[in-house]
Amino acid sequence: MPYKVKDISLAPQGEKKIRWVQEHMPVLERIKSDFSEEKPFRGVTIGSCLHLEPKTINLGLTLKAGGAEVAMTGCNPLSTQDDATAAGAKMGLNMYGWRGETNEEYYENIHRVLDHEPDILIDDGADMIFLVHRERPELLDGIIGACEETTTGINRLRAMAADGALKFPVMAVNDAYTKYLFDNRYGTGQSTFDSIMGATNMLIAGKTVVVCGYGWCGRGIAMRAEGLGASVIVTEVDPIRALEARMDGFRVMKVSDAVKEADILITATGNTDVVSESEFLNMKDGCVMANSGHFNVEINREALEELSREKKKVKEDIEVFIMPDGRKLYLLAEGRLVNLASERGQGHPAEIMDMSFAMQALSARHLLQEKPEPGVYRAPDEIDLMVARMKLDAMDIEIDELTEEQRLYLESWEEGT
């Protein structure tokens, strides 16, 4: 099985990590067991570009159990766990990636996956989907479709579809309820703090935490910051979400004002240049900045570097930028998504990725069965509900069912008596 990983001898350690997450991904394990009987992907090659860590390797193993030939690379040069990729390679996945790839190596590895001529792509951020359109158009005809994991990727793909540039169908896995309500909110909320606390060993209680963006990720981050005892300020550009944040109990203000009070600032907008020159000039001394959005463009690191008189690495994952007036501003994980790119970052808990990857696996099967026209599609509600039911089942939670009378009542337009 071809692979290019950092050190294959790390496999036993990676295998232990994979076995551990498997115990906490009951829905994916159930799908894996069904797939290994049905073999829905027999004769199909699946190429993925996902954060390479034990949970995604388990998704790869699920697709392989379904009969697929699987080739995997990472979607972020810093989020790869080298022991997990070594184990994945040993377990029969074509694995390309290592932690700390250069930008050039990052794209080379995506090309290595594409060299397998995949029928289906599974992407996180849409880098692989863009690359195949831009640089490997000869492969487009053979691609049945793709599944995209995250908000940023789907935003980019919708723009591409609107321009008529998208040449195959894409399942917007992020738009499933069992994805964004849990992964973006509870997953990002918990894992962002796990990584910030792991990198800094800072106390959160009593701090002022500024959260930029009150989308699904921002809501989760703000909720967890409050739970840890911080005073939370939200910044937004959308009036409805700003109102929602206010009524959820948080202070809302412009980012230029919020930075004056920020002990910790976290971006989760999916947008660019959210924190830039004017914010750095006004930022509170000692502020620790982290990004949880998909790309490292939310906090303008180049501007920070230009404005500062000195920059140094304090320790793994923490850089300090000393401003001309002596203020020290700290940036975690180079401004890349902190919950995966920091050394301590393990991504979301396995119980959360259980649902996200169940959606990925079932959406890939749906693509194969339905072969829709090029465009961006929400996963069908039946799949979403099926994943939610399997999760409840695994959690040993029973819920009520509508009686026939209740169903008729809800469907009727006549006045109730």
Measured from the CB atom, is 274 or 355 closer to ligand NAI?
274
What is the spatial distance between Cα 99 and Cα 317, in angstroms, rounded to a whole number? 13
Can residue 188 be called a binding residue for ligand NAI (CB under 6 A)?
Answer: yes
What is the spatial distance between Cα 400 and Cα 249, in angstroms, rounded to a whole number? 32
Can residue 349 be called a binding residue for ligand NAI (CB under 6 A)?
Answer: no
Q: What are phi and psi of 336, to 5 degrees?
A: -85, 165
In this chain, which of 90, 224, 294, 301 binds ligand NAI, going by CB under 6 A?
Answer: 294
Measured from the CB atom, is 231 or 271 closer to ligand NAI?
271
Can residue 49 be called a binding residue for ligand NAI (CB under 6 A)?
Answer: no
What is the spatial distance between Cα 127 and Cα 108, in angstroms, rounded to a whole number? 12
Measured from the CB atom, is 26 or 293 closer to ligand NAI?
293
Can residue 237 be called a binding residue for ligand NAI (CB under 6 A)?
Answer: yes
Residues 195-214 that bind ligand NAI (CB under 6 A): 212-214
What is the spatial distance between Cα 211 and Cα 225, in angstroms, rounded to a whole number? 9
Sign of the torsion formed by the C-alpha atoms of 335, 341, 342 and 348? positive
User: What contacts 79, CB < 8 A, 6 or more positions away?
Assistant: 51, 52, 53, 99, 336, 337, 340, 341, 345, 347
Nearest of 308, 310, 302, 294 to residue 125 by alpha carbon: 294
270: DSSP letter: S
Measured from the CB atom, is 213 or 335 closer to ligand NAI?
213
In this chain, which of 74, 97, 218, 335 binds ligand NAI, going by CB under 6 A?
Answer: 218
Q: How many residues bind ligand NAI (CB under 6 A)?
A: 29
β-pair partners for 311:
321
Can residue 241 be called a binding residue for ligand NAI (CB under 6 A)?
Answer: yes
Measured from the CB atom, is 237 or 322 closer to ligand NAI?
237
In this chain, which of 66, 270, 335, 349 binds ligand NAI, going by CB under 6 A?
Answer: 270
The angle subtended at Cα 96 by Cα 92 and Cα 102, nearest 5°, is 165
From the CB of 112, what's the least distance to ligand NAI, in Å?
24
Nearest of 321, 316, 227, 209 to residue 268 by alpha carbon: 209
Measured from the CB atom, is 273 or 393 closer to ligand NAI?
273
Can residue 271 be called a binding residue for ligand NAI (CB under 6 A)?
Answer: yes
Residues 150-179 that bind ligand NAI (CB under 6 A): 150-152
Measured from the CB atom, is 87 or 212 closer to ligand NAI?
212
Q: Which residue is nearest to ligand NAI (CB)?
A: 215
Q: Are 160 and 168 in contact (CB under 8 A)?
A: no
Can residue 147 be called a binding residue for ligand NAI (CB under 6 A)?
Answer: no
Stretch that binds ligand NAI, among 126-134, 290-298, 299-307, 385-393 (CB under 6 A): 290-298
Q: Are 128 and 149 in contact (CB under 8 A)?
A: no
Q: Are 142 and 117 in contact (CB under 8 A)?
A: yes
Measured from the CB atom, is 75 or 86 closer to ligand NAI?
75
Give contact residues for ligand NAI (rule: CB under 6 A). Answer: 150-152, 180, 183-184, 188, 212-218, 235-238, 241, 268-271, 274, 292-294, 337, 339
